[in-house]
Amino acid sequence: MTATSPSPTVAGKPEGPLTVAVIGNPNTGKSTLFTALTGIHSRIGNYPGVTVEKKIGTFHHDHREIHLVDLPGTYSLSPRSLDEMVSVDVLLGRQADVGRIDVVICIADAANLERNLYLVSQVLDLGLPTVLILNMWDVAQSRGVQIDADQLSQKLGIPVVPCEAHRHRQIDAVKQAILTTAGRQSINPPRVFPACFYEEGRQLQAQLAEWGEPATPFYVAERMLLDVGGQIETSFLRKFSAQLPATLTAARERLKSSGFRVPAAEAKARYAWVREVLSGVMFVPQQRSVTRSDQLDQWLTHKVWGLSAFVVIMFAVFQSISTAASPLMELCEVGQQAVGGWVGSLIPPGPFQSLVVDGVIGGVGGILVFLPQICFLFLFIALLEDCGYMARAAFLMDKLMTKVGLSGKSFVPLMSSFACAIPGIMATRTIENRRDRMVTILIAPLMSCSARFPVYWLMVAAFFPDITWGGGWISLRGILIFVMTFFGAVVAVPVAWLFKKTLFKGETPPFVMELPSYKWPSPRIVLSRVYDRGKAFVVRAGTLIFATSILIWAASYFPGDHTHLYQLQEQVEQARTSLAPELAERDRLQKLQSEQSGRPEQTESLKELEQQLAATEARLEPLNKLVAERNVIAEHLLETSFLGRFGKTIEPTVRPLGWDWRIGVGVLASFPAREVIVSTLGTIYSLGNEVVATDTGLQQALRDSRRSDGRLVYSIPVALSIMVFFALCAQCVSTLMVIRRETNSWFWPLFTFTYMTTLAYVGAFAAYQLGSWLM
C-alpha cells in the first residue's frame, strides 16, 4: 500500500537523472533500504574537507536514472560541527559534488514513529519534495502498532510508503513514490513554531541580505536562531563577527519575552506537532507484549551475563577472523611470490625486473594481503549490525569507554585494531560523534597489530632466556610477548584522555541509541557491505600504499650497480637446478632430525642422520658459497643505497636509543610494513632477505653483531628499546593512507606519524636508558 499526497503533479517524460537524498535516524534500516534500491552499484568516498563518508548509488526505474545519496544517520538536523553540517549542505544543494536534491527520502522506524518524526519535521522545514518511508512495518504490526498511512499522508502532505526493506517488500512502491514526488517543485513546510519565530527568521534573512548575503535560505536563518553556538552560527560569525552576535542576542531575547525560550523550546514545539500529527493516525497498545527481543535483552544487556556474552562473542569473532583470514593471507603471499618468480623469469635481470618484481608486484601484494582480514572483519560487523546485536554491544561498553572520554561504539574498532589497524580505522564509521570518531582513529594504531609480532619474537627469542614455570605452562618469553602486545593499549588510555582535553575538547555527548529488534541478517545486505568496504580499501587506500612502496623500493635500490649481483643470482639459480636432488634430500633429513630430536631412544639414529646431513651439506658447498657471496654483495648495495646513506646520516639521532645505523636502516625500510625489518636485517647481516623471525641464524647474527669499536650492538636494553619503539611507532604506510582516506585530510596522517614517532622515540629512549642503568 502506498499513500500519496493529494493531487501531485506528475512530470512528463523527464530529462536527466534524479538526485535523491536518503536520511533517517540510526538503526532505522536506512542502509538496508539503500542497498535494496541500488544493489552493489554504488561508489564510496568522502565529502571535501570532512570525515563524512559520501556514498552514492544508482538505479533505474521506469526509464529514469536515479542517483541515491546516503546521508549519515542522525537524530536531528542541528549541525554542531563541519561533519554534521554536510547533511544540511547536501539537502540545501550547496554541496558542489552532489548538486541539487530533487527528492528527499526520510526513513522512519514504524514501531518508534513518534521519536522518528522529530527529524521528519526538520526535513519538511526545508520545503523539498519528500517521501516518508515507514520501514520495519512487520515489526510494528507484530507489536500491535496500527498506523493509518493514508491519513498520515494527508496530514503531512507528502507520500507515505510502508516498507520492509530487509525483506525487499514494497521496494517498487518506494521507487514509484520517488518518481511521483519528483514532479513537485516544493512543499509547504509545517508551521511548528509560533508566528513570532517566523517573523524573527524573516528579519534575520533581511538583515543578512543587507550585509551582503542575499541568498540565505530561511532554514539557515531558522537554525541560526535555534542552535546557540552551532555550526551555522559559527560559520557566519567568521564573516560578520562585529554585527551578528548582537543581532542574534536581541532576536533571542525578543523570542524569550514572547514565551519562546531558545533552545529548549524547539524540542517542545516539535514533539507537540508530532503528537498532533499522530492523533487519530497511530494506535499503540497500552500494554506492550513481551517480544523475543525483550526476552533476549534480559540476558544480553545484563551487567554480568551481558558482558560475559559480549566477551564470548568478541572472542569468537576475532578468533574466527584470525583462523579464517590467515590461510588466505598466506595464499596472497604465496601468490605474490609465485607471480613475482614467474614474471622475474621472463624479464632479464636489471632495474626493470627489480621494479616490476620487488616494486610493482611486491606493492600490490602488500595491499591484497590485508584484504582477507578487512573482508572478514566487516562480514562479522555487518552480521552483528544487521541482526541488531551491535547496538547492544555499544551499550554494554559505553560505561568503560566513557572513562577515557569515548563512547561504547569505539570499543569494536579498537578491538579490531589488535588484528590490524586498517579495518579497525575503517570500522570507526559506525561512530556518529566526530570527536569520538577522530580520537578513536588516532589511537587505533597504538593497538599491537599482528605485524608487530615478528619484531617482538625476534628480539625475545634472540636475547631473553627460555625460562619456564608451572611445568612449562608459563614462560618468560610468553610473558614478554603478552606485555608488549598490550603495552600500546595501556599507553593509548592517557593519549586518548589528552586528545579529548586538548584537540577535541567538548562534553562527551550522552549515549543515545535505539535498540532495534533482533532479526535474521539479510545475506544480500551483509555481502553488499563487505564488498563496499573491500572495494573502498583496494581502490582508494591501495593506490597510496602502492605509490609509497615504489618510493621505498627506489630508495633501497639506487644508485648502486647491481650487475654483479644479478650474475651471482643467475649462478645461484643454475646451481639450485643442478643440485635439486641434494636440496630435497637435505630438507628430508632436516625434517627427520627435527622429529627425532629429544628422544633418548633415537640417539643412534640421530648420529646416522647427522652424518648423512653433513655429507649432503658437503655436496651443497658450491651453492652455499655462491649464496654467501650474493648476500655480501646485497648487503653492500643496501648499505650504499640512498636508504642506507640516510640510515647512516640519522645514526647520531638513534644512538641514544642504543641503535647503530643498521637498526636505523631496518626501521626506515619497514615504513611500508613493520615486519619488513626482519628481512632487511637478514640482508644487512648477509643472510638474504628470505629469513624469518624464527631463523636461528639471524638471531645468532644479531647476538654476534659488533660496532666499529668492537662493542656488541645488541643487548637486552637494546632489544627492549626496539620492541617499545615498534609498539608505539607508526611504521605502517597502509595505516597512514587509510587515515588519510577516512579523515579526508593529509594533516591527520602526518599528525599521527609525528605524535606516534615522538612517543616511540621517547619510550625507546626511556627503555634503553633505564635498562642500561638497571643492568
Q: What is the pLDDT of residues 343-391, one digit of tens each?
A: 888 888 777 887 787 767 766 776 677 678 778 877 887 888 778 887 7
Residue 57 DSSP SS3? strand
What are the grid coordinates assigned to 264, written together?
Answer: 529548549
| pLDDT for the residue numbered 548 | 60
Local confidence band at 695 (pLDDT 50, 70, 90 cut-offs): low
Q: What pLDDT score was predicted for residue 53?
A: 65
- Judged against a pLDDT cut of 90, whether residue 134 lies above it is answered with yes
State the chain's mean pLDDT as an integer: 81
* Sole residue written with cell 501531485: 8
Lowest mean pLDDT among 391-405, 656-670, 741-755: 391-405
| Most confident option among 106-120, 172-186, 312-326, 363-377 | 106-120
**Distance between CA atoms of residues 559 and 164, nearest Å:** 64
**Per DSSP, what are the bridge partners of residue 475?**
468
Q: Which of 88-92, 643-647, 688-692 has the lowest mean pLDDT?
A: 688-692
Backbone angles phi and psi of 18, in degrees to 5: -100, 145
Confidence of residue 427 (pLDDT cuts 50, 70, 90): confident
Measured CA to CA, the distance from residue 648 to residue 767 in angstroms comes to 23
The Cα angle at residue 725 between residues 722 and 729, in degrees rounded to 5:
145
Burial class (CB in 10 A: 0-12, 13-18, 19+), 345: exposed
Tell me the C-alpha distance between 565 and 570, whole Å: 9
Which of 411 and 65 is assigned the larger pLDDT?
A: 65
Nearest to 692 by CA among 705, 706, 677: 677
Helix boundaries (H) for 188-263: 195-210, 218-226, 231-237, 244-257
Q: Confidence band (pLDDT; 50, 70, 90) for 3?
A: very low
For residues 19 and 65, the answer to whether their CB atoms sit within 8 Å is: no
d(CA 163, CA 172) in angstroms, rounded, equals 10
- What residues contact residue 208 under an 8 Å CB cut-off, 6+ apart? 214, 216, 221, 236
Question: The domain at 10-182 falls in which architecture?
Answer: 3-Layer(aba) Sandwich (3.40)
CA angle 664, 650, 703 (to 5 degrees): 30
Question: b/e per residue, 432-457, with b = 16+ CB within 10 A?
Answer: bbbbbbbbbbbbbbbbbbbbbbbbbb
**pTM confidence score:** 0.63
Q: Count CA within 13 A, CB hemisphere, residue 272.
A: 9
Looking at residue 1, its pLDDT comes to 46
Which amino acid is it at 732? Answer: C
Average pLDDT over residues 238-246: 88
pLDDT at residue 20, as a whole number: 94
Name the residue ranges covered by the structural domains of the chain.
Answer: 10-182, 195-259, 560-625
Cβ proximity of 534 and 325 under 8 Å: no
- Alpha-helix runs per DSSP H in 283-370: 292-300, 305-346, 351-354, 362-368
Of residues 453 and 526, which shows the higher confidence score? 526
Question: CA 708, CA 718: separation in Å to the nearest integer?
Answer: 17
Q: What is residue 479's predicted lDDT score, i.e. its pLDDT?
A: 82
pLDDT tens column, 266-280 = 889 999 999 999 998
pLDDT at 308: 86
Mean pLDDT of the 102-112 span: 92
> Could you read off the pLDDT of 19-47 as tens digits, one per residue?
999 999 887 888 888 888 887 655 555 55
pLDDT of residue 609: 80
What are the residues whose beta carbons fall under 8 Å from the beta carbon of 364, sequence distance 6 or more?
336, 546
Cα–Cα distances in angstroms (integers) from residue 204 to residues 214, 218, 223, in the given order? 11, 9, 11
pLDDT of residue 48 exceeding 70, the answer is no
599 pLDDT exceeds 70?
no
* CA gap 20, 107 in Å, rounded: 13
pLDDT of residue 378: 77
Assess contact for 277 and 152: CB atoms under 8 A. yes
Q: Which of 396-410, 630-644, 670-684 has the lowest mean pLDDT?
A: 670-684
Top pLDDT among 519 and 748 is at: 748
The span from the CA of 687 to the CA of 678, in Å, is 11
pLDDT of amino acid 539: 66
Ranked by mean pLDDT, the top range of 56-60, 279-283, 316-320, 750-754 is: 750-754
3-state class (DSSP) for residue 20:
strand
The bridge status of strand 64-70 relative to strand 53-61 is antiparallel
63 torsion bin: left (phi>0), alpha (psi -120 to 50), beta (else): left
In this prediction, residue 322 carries a pLDDT of: 61
What are 46's strand-pairing partners?
53
Q: Give the residue-averaged pLDDT of 449-463.
A: 78
Q: What is the DSSP letter of 169?
A: B
Choose among 571, 708, 559: nearest CA to 641: 559
Q: How high is the pLDDT of residue 71?
A: 87
* Span 605-616, pLDDT tens digits: 777 888 888 888
Which pLDDT tens digit goes with each residue over 544-584? 556 666 776 787 788 888 888 888 888 888 888 888 888 88
Span of 459-463, 620-624, 670-674 with lowest mean pLDDT: 670-674
Q: Which residue has the cell 572478514?
A: 376
Q: What is the mean pLDDT of residues 314-328?
A: 72
Q: Which residues contact 701 (CB under 8 A, 6 or more apart)?
A: 681, 685, 687
pLDDT digits (tens, 9 = 90+) for 756-771: 999 999 999 999 999 8
**What is the three-class DSSP state of 596?**
helix
Give residue 337's pLDDT.
78
Looking at the predicted structure, is the pLDDT value of residue 688 above 50? no
Asked if residues 394 and 408 have their Cβ atoms less than 8 Å apart, the reply is: yes
In this predicted structure, which of 334-348, 377-391, 588-602 has the lowest mean pLDDT?
588-602
Q: State what percent of residues in the chain have pLDDT above 90.
A: 21
Give the H/E segment covering residue 563.
helix 563-578
Residue 11's pLDDT is 41
Q: Report which of 501, 513, 509, 378 is spatially closest to residue 439, judged by C-alpha positions.
A: 501
Query: For residues 175 and 33, what is the distance between their CA atoms, to the nearest angstrom?
Result: 11
Residue 507: how many other CB atoms lie within 10 Å:
7
Confidence band, pLDDT 50/70/90 cuts, at residue 4: very low
What type of residue is 284? V
Residue 321 vs residue 470, higher pLDDT: 470
| CA dist., res. 517 & res. 512, Å (int) | 16
Q: What pLDDT, on a 0 to 100 scale, did the predictor assign at position 700?
A: 77
| Residue 8: band (very low, low, confident or very high) from pLDDT cuts 50, 70, 90 | very low
